[in-house]
Chains A and B, each alone.
Chain A
């Protein structure tokens, strides 16, 4: 606990020390420890925000485990601290192989967290999680070798400026896609996620949803887009198609879940699909929006898992039917739960709205159809979240034991309040979160815009020409955006 709070304190110092508009890469350090690759760290605005998210969620995770974990506490805490190290390392790595090391190493603590402290079906879930993600990333490793052999450097900033031959980009992009699509996860590679979420302990779910899924999005942002801009443009249709399916399909699946954690897990898949669409919209709004959704989703779905954890600790079931009318006996709990539900739906004033609005605005410039379908996801999202909330918090008092539960304790207050505060902050004044990454997003946008064919209509695959005309010529607008 103390260690995580101390890290969070260091994170705050990092943020205040970060010069907005300064050099692109700050706080760099480099040491040639290993033959073959170097131990190089450094952050830009994008990494900064994601590191902040990790260090912010970590003390809360520890708090959430305070009473829930009773066996092998020392090992549990060690696993979480190890996890935190690796996540920060992944976001800060400046060497492509070092990134891979941190990226993959996270499997070990997460496998143990799910397997040792998880639910009844934990063994199946931990195997599935481990093997699925491992299989995704080994192909990426092969691609990395090829890139490094070709470009003769494993330095990420240099590789981001390196132009790989167009034919090779396709293969490289696909190899990276295999890894990040599993991690995000995108439909149809998402099946490990509900299992892992349901079986993991509460804090494990928070970390999984809050940070680990962001590794995939970060990967797209840091590798796929800037390193293979041409292939990214060519495959945007694939990402769009998979994401559209994901948004609608997983939202519908979420609607019929009886298990609260599973419902939130499916909602994660739907939200992350909007992230991927936004990332591949190739414009500043889309990219910034995706980043904000990632941050917001990290907080909100983390908080929702915490909400589930709070009542799970009391009744030891995640069945929605076992609860009901909790607003009577747990008013404060109901209040927080409502706030996070609304944030998940994307109510204006919460963080969810900002991100979804920005990224949908970005998508709309590329394809109205994609934007339209993604918007239905938001409507469906409202449906399943409100339906969940109604069943848990309102309705008749049908379960006596549920009615006997006490309201949240001071420890749980301490978990909820900071997240709620940040969610509102991000919803009301997103500028403080947009400012650090603006310069980096602009650089990225310039990079991909230079490689993207001038006519963006080619991204609209399988659509009639008439719709392509809807694409607003926004080239001027995003240079202004970048100049902020």
Chain B
């Protein structure tokens, strides 16, 4: 395989890299005045990079011609699907940022910091590498590029102690998780003699030795941290609460997609021969995430913390699809991811719209009481999003749970599905609390600030996607997800 073909395969990454470097220079000379322009340029870059994915996504790229750089990267349709989702999420998080940062309440006297968009670009580049990794080295490279950019993003409001605290927490715990992951990789390397996925897989056939088992467990633990699954979820509420809301929206969407996709690839392509070994781990993690995500959210008063627990809960359902360990399960997981991204993006955008005239953000239940009277449009948008997150039909959130549970039951894991679905009723409690506060309580008339066009556009778009209209998307979505999941199961 020559370099030209390899480079052709990574066109989107090249676009992101080039744009990231150029915009970094613009930042250096233009300063924060250029922030808005840089944001839109970055969003356009993502759009352009996304466009290059379309042909491959459509035709369903699989096989040896998807390997780049001697097998370091694998640009199959699974990677393409995940990348498309990551770019979409990143565009959303870029567009909502300017009007958030350009207010005094955000603690940025000088307005938005231009680095924000550049960091998002680099983080997304790291994620691109993660989802197409076919070797533990490229996996770690992508993961760290993503994580380092993310640590900075979390603490981008330097003057704000909460933001700084979030960044520090994320960094310390993230570094620990990276260490665990790396240790697992080294164990696997020691026991199988390779770092490429195919080589490790070949070394893991038959009886699983203790050393390799430890390697597997360490790798799984490191990945579980990145996707914020129980029992490695402790950082999530703090980081989500402390980070600026656009950054939280970003954390809740794009890196989740990347980490879940990475986990799926690792368990199927590397540990594909050891399903019994990891299936129970994933099952436990999934159930524990669903239950703890639901229980933890009940007492929360801060909306961002609540959504953090909600994302843990959702990750549980996504892992449920993974635990099924077959093609239908992986496809359902991807469909769930897509719908989850739309719902999270919408919810966090709605939170961004809750502000006073002077731009102060409101983040607690007390502040949004009676929102249906004072700001009906936001309230109805949030109503749709919350019922959708609770999985109530006819909203699209029901469809995501529908596919996951269908895959679970068809694989014969009926008891498992029954426990998970019963726990989802606990989750419904706090989602409908949102609705109760907004619709049933007395209005407080705090939320008076105007919202930017981008916010309205994203809220409207996500609400439209999760409304019953979204079902019109499902045939093409399940077609694409089916192709992408199929790519995972080609390894002999």
Contact = CB atoms under 8 A, between A and B. Distances in A.
Interface of A: 32-36, 72, 97, 100-102, 104-105, 107-108, 111-112, 115-116, 122-123, 126-127, 130-131, 134-135, 138-139, 141-142, 145-146, 148-149
B471 interface: yes
B417 A145 contact: yes
Nearest to B428: A134
A108 B417 CA distance: 24
Across chains A and B, which 6 residue pairs bring their CB atoms closest together, nearest first? A145-B409, A35-B478, A101-B393, A149-B410, A138-B421, A115-B440
Contacts of A115: 435-436, 439-440
A108 B421 contact: no
Contacts of A145: 405-406, 408-410, 417
Contact of B394 (A105, A130, A135, A148): A105
Given A33-B472, A34-B475, A142-B405, A131 B398 contact: no
B387 A135 contact: no
Contact of B393 (A105, A135, A146): A105
Interface of B is mostly: helix
Contacts of B402: 36, 97, 141
A35 B418 contact: no
Given A33-B474, A131-B425, A141-B405, 7 more contacts: A33-B471, A36-B478, A100-B393, A101-B394, A102-B393, A111-B435, A141-B402
A16 B479 CA distance: 43
Question: Which residue, B399, B432, B472, has most C-beta atoms of chain A within 10 A?
Answer: B432
B82 interface: no
Contacts of B435: 111-112, 115
Contacts of A36: 399, 402-403, 406, 474, 478
Contacts of A126: 436, 440
A100 to B, nearest CB: 7
B231 to A, nearest CB: 25
A142 B440 contact: no
Given A122-B440, A127-B432, A35 B474 contact: yes
B245 interface: no
Given A108-B392, A141-B421, A116 B439 contact: yes
B421 A142 contact: yes
Nearest to A149: B410
Interface in B266-299: none
Contacts of A130: 428, 432
A293 B361 CA distance: 55
A143 to B, nearest CB: 9
Contacts of A148: 406
Interface in B329-382: 372-373
Given A108-B392, A115-B439, A127-B436, A139 B418 contact: yes
Contacts of B392: 104-105, 107-108, 134
B429 interface: yes
A138 B409 contact: no
Contacts of A141: 402, 405, 421
B477 interface: yes
A102 B402 CA distance: 14
Contacts of A131: 425, 428-429
A100 B393 CA distance: 8
Contacts of B372: 72, 116
B417 A104 contact: no
A219 B293 CA distance: 33
B321 to A, nearest CB: 14
Interface string B391-435: 011100011001101101110001001100110110011001001
Nearest to A136: B425
B399 A34 contact: yes
A138 B418 CA distance: 8
13 contacts: A33-B471, A33-B472, A36-B474, A101-B398, A105-B392, A116-B440, A122-B440, A123-B440, A134-B425, A141-B421, A142-B414, A145-B405, A146-B414
